[in-house]
C-alpha cells in the first residue's frame, strides 16, 4: 500500500541530520544562489566531490539586498517547519542567527488576531524573524564555507543534454561565456523566472505545464526603530475574513528584526495599495492592535517599500512522461506561492530534504529522478492546498475550483473561526500553516468535532451578548 502523504511529509520534516551519505558525483551544479539553491548545495555537498553554485548576483557574506530578489525588502519570517530544517543542515543555525540579531518569537511573544479577536495562545510557536538579506547571508556563509562548495558569479545560459541526461551547463561571466562540461548532476534553482522549461523544449524534451492562480496582491513594508531592545511582543499578526476586511487592507504583520528594528507589512488586493505614505502608514497602524501602534512610535528607517505579485504558480515536473536524468528543480523554480502565507523559504528547506532522501535511496542515476519529484510533490501539494483554498475565495478569482471546493472552504472557514478560542484546534491548524504537518492531519473526527463545538459556543456567546 502506498505511503500516505501525511507520513511522507512527517518523514521529510525530520530534524535528524543524515548519516548514511555516500559520494555519487564528481561535480554537481546548482543554478541559482537563492535560499533554495544554497540548501540544495548543502545537500549535494554530502554526495559530490565538488558543488558549483552559479549565481548572477554578487555572492558575498554581507547582508545586502540582491537585485534578483525583488521581494527582499518585504517582511520575512521563517516558519517553524523551515527553521528546523535549517538547524538540521547547519548545526546551531538558530542560535547563531539569534546571537547575530534575529528574533525568535515564542508563544508568550506572539499576538495573533482574527477578525479583530485575539486568538488563544498555543505551544510550539517559534518564528525566526529577520530581514531577508540577513537570513540569506547566514545561509550563504554557512554553505560556501564548506570545503567542496564553489560559488561562481555568472548568468545561467543553458543546460547541456546528451544521452538522456544533463551533462553540463553554460553560463556567462564578465569575462564571457563559460561551459562546464563535466556536470554529473544539475539543480535548477533559478526562481519564478526559471528558463529550464524553454531549454528543455528547444532540446526536444517536454516542457512542464505551468499552472497559475491570479492573486494580484500588493505589499507595503516599512521599518521603524525599536524603542526597546527586547520588547514583550515580538510578532503581531492581523487577518480577517474576506467579507470583513477593513477598507483596502488584507493582512497585516509586525515583527521585531535585527538592529533593534520593527518591520511592518500591509497587504492589499487588486487596486488596494495601503500605506504608501508615512502618514497613511502610521494612521493604519494606530487603528490596528496595540503592538502595531507601539511599533510606529519610533523613527521610520528608509523609505516605504512596495511589492506586487500577480500570481501563484507551479510547474508539475512529476507529470512529464519524458525528462532527462540527473536534473531536478527546487524552490520557486518549481512552485511559488502567495507570499502572504510565508511558505517560500520553508518549502525550499523541505525540497532540500526531498533531495537528500532521494540521493540516499541508492537511486538509478541513469533514469529521471521520479522518486525525488514524487517526494517534492507532497511538499508542493501541501503548501498549494494551504494557500490556494483561501485564495480561491478572493472576489477577483473565478476558479477553476477543484472538486469539493465549496465544502472544503466551509470547513476551513469554520476551523479558522475555532482557532480563536480552541487551543487544540489552533495548535493543529498552526502545525499545518507552519509546515510542520500535512493538511490532511486536520481532517480527523476529533478536530472536526472540536471545530463544530467551538462554533456552537461562539453562537451561544453571541446570542447572550
Please check whether residue 400 lies inside any domain of the structure: no
What was the pLDDT predicted at 165?
97
Tell whether 88 and 191 lie within a shared domain: yes
- Among 328, 350, 383, identify where a domain stops: 383
Give the range among 210-214, 280-284, 320-324 with minimum mean pLDDT: 210-214
What was the pLDDT predicted at 72?
65
Please check whether residue 392 lies inside any domain of the structure: no
Percentage of the chain lying above the pLDDT 70 cut? 96
Tell whether 117 and 245 lie within a shared domain: yes
What was the pLDDT predicted at 246?
80
Percentage of the chain lying above the pLDDT 90 cut? 74
CA-nearest of 411, 417, 416 to 429 is 416
Please check whether residue 390 lies inside any domain of the structure: no
Tell whether 108 and 200 lie within a shared domain: no
- Among 271, 289, 310, identify where a domain stops: 310
Total structural domains within the chain? 3
Please check whether residue 99 lies inside any domain of the structure: no
Tell whether 306 and 217 lie within a shared domain: yes
Tell whether 61 and 205 lie within a shared domain: yes
Tell whether 293 and 327 lie within a shared domain: no
From residue 240, give the alpha-carbon distance in Å to each of 118, 248, 261, 409.
12, 12, 26, 15
pLDDT at 399 over 70: yes
Cα separation of 94 and 105, whole Å? 12
Average pLDDT over residues 87-106: 96
Q: Any idea what DSSP says for residue 66?
A: -
Q: pLDDT for 193-216, tens place per residue?
A: 999 999 999 999 999 999 988 888
Tell whether 231 and 348 lie within a shared domain: no
pLDDT at 400 over 90: no
Average pLDDT over residues 426-435: 96
Please check whether residue 421 lies inside any domain of the structure: yes
What was the pLDDT predicted at 69?
63
Tell whether 231 and 87 lie within a shared domain: no
Res. 242 pLDDT band, cuts 50 70 90: confident
Cα separation of 379 and 233, whole Å? 31
CATH number, domain of 330, equals: 3.50.50.60
Please check whether residue 111 lies inside any domain of the structure: yes
pLDDT at 232 over 70: yes
Res. 293 pLDDT band, cuts 50 70 90: very high
Res. 68 pLDDT band, cuts 50 70 90: low
Please check whether residue 71 lies inside any domain of the structure: no
**Structural domain of residue 454, as residue ranges?**
405-464
What was the pLDDT predicted at 229?
81
Q: pLDDT for 147-176, tens place per residue?
A: 999 999 999 999 999 999 999 999 999 889
Res. 44 pLDDT band, cuts 50 70 90: very high
Tell whether 85 and 156 lie within a shared domain: yes
The CA-to-CA distance between both ends of the chain, in Å, stands at 52
Please check whether residue 52 lies inside any domain of the structure: yes
Q: pLDDT for 376-393, tens place per residue?
A: 999 999 999 998 878 888
- Among 310, 329, 359, identify where a domain stops: 310
What was the pLDDT predicted at 447?
94
Q: How high does pLDDT run on average in the chain?
A: 92
What was the pLDDT predicted at 60?
63
Tell whether 58 and 158 lie within a shared domain: yes
Q: pLDDT for 111-129, tens place per residue?
A: 999 999 999 999 988 999 9
Average pLDDT over residues 342-363: 96
Tell whether 12 and 88 lie within a shared domain: yes
What was the pLDDT predicted at 67?
62
Q: Supply the DSSP string of 59-126, one letter for each residue.
A: --SS----TT-TTTTS-EEE-HHHHHHHHHHSTTHHHHHHHTT-EEE-GGGEEEEETTEEPPP-SS--
Place of cell 467579507: 243
Tell whether 12 and 143 lie within a shared domain: yes
What was the pLDDT predicted at 461?
79
- C-alpha dihedral (152, 154, 160, 166), degrees to nearest 10: 40
Res. 326 pLDDT band, cuts 50 70 90: very high
What was the pLDDT predicted at 64?
65
440 preceded by a cis bond (ω within 30 of 0): no
CATH number, domain of 108, equals: 3.30.9.90
Average pLDDT over residues 230-257: 87
pLDDT at 106 over 90: yes
Res. 62 pLDDT band, cuts 50 70 90: low
Amino acid at each position: 500500500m502506498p505511503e500516505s502523504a501525511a507520513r511522507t511529509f512527517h518523514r521529510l520534516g525530520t530534524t535528524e541530520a543524515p548519516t548514511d551519505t555516500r559520494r555519487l558525483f564528481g561535480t554537481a551544479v546548482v543554478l541559482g544562489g537563492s535560499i533554495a539553491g544554497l540548501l540544495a548545495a548543502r545537500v549535494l555537498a554530502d554526495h559530490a566531490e565538488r558543488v558549483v553554485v552559479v549565481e548572477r548576483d554578487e555572492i558575498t557574506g554581507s547582508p545586502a539586498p540582491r537585485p534578483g530578489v525583488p521581494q527582499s525588502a518585504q517582511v520575512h519570517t521563517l516558519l517553524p517547519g523551515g527553521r528546523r530544517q535549517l538547524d538540521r543542515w547547519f548545526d546551531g543555525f538558530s542560535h547563531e542567527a539569534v546571537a547575530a540579531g534575529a528574533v525568535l518569537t515564542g508563544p508568550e511573544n506572539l499576538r495573533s488576531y482574527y477578525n479583530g479577536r485575539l486568538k488563544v495562545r498555543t505551544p510550539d510557536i517559534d518564528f525566526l524573524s529577520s530581514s531577508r538579506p540577513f537570513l540569506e547571508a547566514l545561509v550563504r556563509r554557512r554553505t560556501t564555507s564548506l570545503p567542496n562548495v564553489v560559488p561562481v558569479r555568472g548568468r545561467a545560459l543553458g543546460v547541456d543534454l546528451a544521452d538522456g541526461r544533463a551533462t553540463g551547463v553554460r553560463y556567462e561571466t564578465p569575462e564571457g561565456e563559460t561551459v562546464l562540461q563535466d556536470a554529473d548532476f544539475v539543480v535548477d534553482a533559478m526562481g519564478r523566472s526559471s528558463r529550464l522549461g524553454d531549454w528543455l523544449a528547444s532540446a526536444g524534451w517536454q516542457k512542464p505545464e505551468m499552472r497559475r492562480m491570479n492573486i494580484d496582491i500588493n505589499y507595503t513594508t516599512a521599518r521603524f526603530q525599536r524603542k526597546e531592545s527586547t520588547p514583550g511582543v515580538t510578532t503581531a499578526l492581523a487577518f480577517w475574513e474576506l467579507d470583513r476586511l477593513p477598507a483596502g487592507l488584507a493582512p497585516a504583520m509586525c515583527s521585531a528584526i535585527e538592529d533593534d528594528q520593527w518591520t511592518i507589512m500591509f497587504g492589499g488586493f487588486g487596486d488596494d495599495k495601503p500605506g504608501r505614505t508615512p502618514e497613511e502608514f502610521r494612521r493604519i497602524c494606530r487603528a490596528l492592535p496595540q503592538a502595531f501602534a507601539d511599533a510606529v512610535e519610533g523613527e521610520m528607517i528608509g523609505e516605504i517599500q512596495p511589492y506586487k505579485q500577480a500570481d501563484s504558480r507551479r510547474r508539475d515536473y512529476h507529470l512529464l512522461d519524458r525528462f532527462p536524468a540527473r536534473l531536478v528543480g527546487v524552490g520557486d523554480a518549481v512552485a511559488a506561492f502567495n507570499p502572504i502565507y510565508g511558505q517560500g523559504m520553508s518549502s525550499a528547506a523541505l525540497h532540500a530534504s526531498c533531495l537528500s532522501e532521494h540521493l540516499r535511496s541508492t537511486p538509478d542515476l541513469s533514469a529521471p529522478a521520479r522518486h525525488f519529484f514524487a517526494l517534492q510533490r507532497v511538499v508542493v501539494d501541501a503548501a498549494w492546498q494551504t494557500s490556494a483554498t483561501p485564495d480561491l475565495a478572493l472576489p477577483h478569482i473565478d476558479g477553476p475550483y477543484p472538486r469539493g471546493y465549496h465544502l472544503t472552504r466551509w470547513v476551513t472557514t469554520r476551523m479558522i473561526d475555532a482557532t480563536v478560542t480552541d487551543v487544540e484546534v489552533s495548535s493543529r491548524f498552526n502545525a499545518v500553516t507552519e509546515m510542520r504537518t500535512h493538511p490532511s492531519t486536520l481532517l480527523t473526527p476529533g478536530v472536526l468535532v472540536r471545530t463544530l463545538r467551538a462554533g456552537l459556543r461562539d453562537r451561544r456567546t453571541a446570542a447572550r451578548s
